[in-house]
Each structure stands twice: as structure tokens, then as C-alpha cells.
A = this chain, B = another copy of it.
Amino acid sequence: MSVTIRELSKRCGLSVSAVSKALNNYPDVSAATRERVLKAAQELGYYPNALARGLKTNRTYNLGVVLDDEMHDSLMHTFFIVILNGFRREAERRGYDITLINRNIGGQTLTYLNHCRYRNVDGICLMCVVDFYNPEIVELAQSDLPLVTIDHQYPGHDSVFSDNRAGMRELLGHVLGRGHRRVAFIHGTPASVTDVRLNAFREVMEERGIALPEGYVMASHYHSTRYAHEAVEKLLALPERPTCILMTDDYSALGGIAALSEHGLRIPEDISIAGYDGNAMIQKIRPNLTTYQQNGEEIGRRAAQRLIARIEQPDAPLEEPDVVPGVLLTGETVIRLA
């Protein structure tokens, strides 16, 4: 099928090993023959076989990306898409491919770790995981494969964080700065990034000495307008309604807005609301959502950088996690109270 190194060597009148060395810039090959080999390779359209090469060298220039979403819809969440895009970009720049890894291959179900080993990826990025304490994910973290995680750190492994603490502090600061005191927070699933934000939320409220009524903090699901809807309903049923609701992400905020509208509430005149993420599309709509924009592109980029650095220097000292700041998007959905 494809032209092999053997044919190339015949064409050049050289041995296979000489050709290989010429192609791989070994020092012990004369400039003249290297030139000749390179030229012939060009002519024949030769390129090495990644399988054979990987088999021999244990390097595949292939990065595994795991999206551990039981619903198979993590790609639908704009946050992860942007990360994936940044990751892919940096990987390409550095000469790596990326493969999305499943649990199922060739008919049988493999664990993530085994799947990664099976594919011989050089490293793994845990891009989206719903539960960082899932045994299968933990197994991955306990292996010796280079690994980078986003918004979570396993001991001994690299990680990149969105600055959730600063983000929540800034967002809440903005809300409080506009005079709100009764602020509710509908957060995402626990044991995830939501914990950090929730802590930051409580932190700020405490610092300012603002009371947090029963029922103002509740758990919902990410990326679900339905759950957001339900949660908002509960909030509105409270004896003392909040004046502003913080949602777990932009998409949920849309669900919240819909729920509020159904109750005849105008935004922001009657009630305020804010999101989290700041994805591209949300920025184009009216009313302009107040939200905290995470820099997903940069997060993905840094994750790839970290991972590749680890692959190429496995014993380099572990650095502090990268913390990527975002930026507050002041929209129109949080009103200034008199």
C-alpha cells in the first residue's frame, strides 16, 4: 500500500538502518546521504508508519482526552468545547494528535486506564469528569501515565484551574455592590468545581456579614434548563424571595430566566439573575446576561502545554497548578437597587 522504508532504502542503494538514521537526524550519517534520502523520500511520498514507530519507541504523539459523561453530552456544554478547542490547537502546534477515548473498544468494555494503555497514548487529559472520585477515574490518576486534570488536582499530577474562587468573588462582589443583600445560589453537582464556588460564595457573604436564609443555597445540575426551572420555582416559593439568583452556568441561567418570565417577573426590574461561563453565544442575546466569563481556550491551551511538558520531561518537578483568570461580564440582568 504505502511506500515503506525498505523500498526507500532500495531506491537509495542504502541499508534500512542508514535511511532510518538519515530521516531521524542521527549524527552518524553523512550530509550527502541524508540529502539523498530526504530527496528520495520526498519523491516517493514516504512517511513513516506510526504504528511501527510507536511499537518500537513507545511514543505515539497521541494524546488521550477523556470525557466522562454518562449522558454523552459533555461536548454539548460550551465550556468543554472551548477547552477542547484550545487543547486541540496547542496539541497540533506541538505535533500531537488527540483521540477521544471511550470505555468500549472492539466489542469489549475496557476501563479508561486500559483503554489508554491499549491505545498507547503518551498522556491523558481528564477534560470533563462528573465525579473525580469515580474508581475508574481514580485508577487513571494512580497510574504512571502523564496526566493533566482541569479544575481538580490529583496528588503528584499536573492540573489547570479556572479561577473559580476569584470568579465567584468578583461576580458576587458585583452583585452586592449593586445593593443586593438577598442573594441565592443554585450550584451544580457537589464534589466538582461547584465546591470551590460555593465556598467562595459563603466566604464573601460571611465577610460582609450578610445572612444567608434557609433554602438560598441549593444543588442543581449543570447544563440543564429543566433543573434550573425547578430550582427557581422552589426559590420563588420561599417566604422571602431573593432579589438576585446566581445560576451554575449560562445555560441554566436561560432556564432560570424562562421560569422567572413565566411567573410574570421582569428581568432585571423585578428580579436579578446571573450566569457563569460567558460563552460566545450568550454574549449576543438580550437581555445581556451578567456572567463571569471563563477563559476556556486558555485553559485548554495550558492543559496541553502542561501535559506535553510532562511527557517530554517526566521527572521535572511538579509545579503549582495553573490558575487561569476570567473576566466579569457586566450585563443587564443585575439591577442596581436603590
Contact = CB atoms under 8 A, between A and B. Distances in A.
B251 A284 contact: yes
A104 B107 CA distance: 31
B49 A118 contact: yes
Contacts of A89: 72
Contact of A118 (B50, B76, B100): B50
Interface string A87-126: 0110111011111111111111010001001111000000
Interface string A43-84: 001011111101100101110000000001101101001101
A149 to B, nearest CB: 20
B225 A47 contact: no
A119 B105 contact: no
Nearest to A105: B95
A263 interface: no
A142 interface: no
Contacts of A2: 117
A225 to B, nearest CB: 6
A74 to B, nearest CB: 9
A337 to B, nearest CB: 24
A93 B72 CA distance: 12
Contacts of A62: 99
Given A93-B104, A100-B97, A118-B47, A261 B286 contact: yes
Contacts of A280: 76, 251
Contacts of A103: 92
A85 B73 contact: yes
Contacts of A106: 61, 95
Interface residues of A, number: 63
Nearest to A56: B51
A281 interface: yes
Contacts of A47: 110, 114, 117-118
A254 B51 contact: no
Given A47-B110, A49-B55, A97-B102, A254 B285 contact: yes
30 contacts: A1-B117, A48-B118, A49-B55, A50-B118, A50-B119, A51-B51, A51-B55, A51-B60, A61-B105, A61-B106, A73-B85, A75-B84, A75-B85, A76-B82, A76-B280, A81-B81, A93-B104, A95-B106, A95-B108, A96-B105, A97-B99, A97-B105, A98-B100, A100-B100, A251-B281, A251-B284, A254-B281, A254-B285, A285-B285, A286-B286
Given A55-B55, A62-B99, A76-B85, 17 more contacts: A1-B117, A45-B114, A47-B117, A49-B55, A61-B106, A72-B89, A73-B85, A75-B88, A81-B81, A92-B104, A99-B99, A225-B284, A254-B281, A254-B285, A281-B281, A281-B282, A285-B285
